[in-house]
Amino acid sequence: MKQIKSLEAVAFSRYIRMSPFKVRRILDQIRGRTYEETMIILSFMPYKACPVILKTIQSAAANATNKYNVDPSLLFISEARADAGPILKRFRPHAQGRGFPIKKRMSHIISLI
């Protein structure tokens, strides 16, 4: 039986000032879909994370095109994940002189085509 070698291209977006929970909500919608279908879905979704994910997916497609000379219409999203980045820790004043901690989260977005 003949083995087909999978060609993969990857793109990273690091230190995105957005919670990984909010990014994962969108990545779950596009994982396993074709590149063209993903572009359509992301361009019409109303979430703040969509332009950042769109840019990362386009970068991975450009990497695949330049590295393997593949037509973008043949590509599909094999892996898309958002990992937690560093957390900015801030304090907000509360009643009676207390401080209330606020965690401003960051994400690392990885897309594999």
Interatomic CA distance for residues 32 and 50, integer angstroms: 17
Q: What is the β-pairing status of strands 79-93 and 10-16?
A: unpaired
Per-residue model confidence as pLDDT tens digits over 81-113: 999 999 999 999 999 999 999 999 999 999 998
Residue range 20-76, pLDDT digits in tens: 999 999 999 999 999 999 999 999 999 999 999 999 999 999 999 999 888 888 889
* Contact between residue 102 and residue 108 where contact means Cβ atoms under 8 Å apart: no
Task: Give the domain range for residue 37.
Answer: 10-112
Distance CA 70, CA 83 (A): 28
E strand or H helix at 12 = strand 10-16
Is the pLDDT at 2 greater than 70? The verdict is: no
In a domain, 4, yes or no: no
> What is the C-alpha separation between 81 and 110, in angstroms, rounded?
5
* Residue 48: CATH number of its domain: 3.90.470.10
pTM comes to 0.85
- Looking at the domain assignment, is residue 73 inside a domain? yes
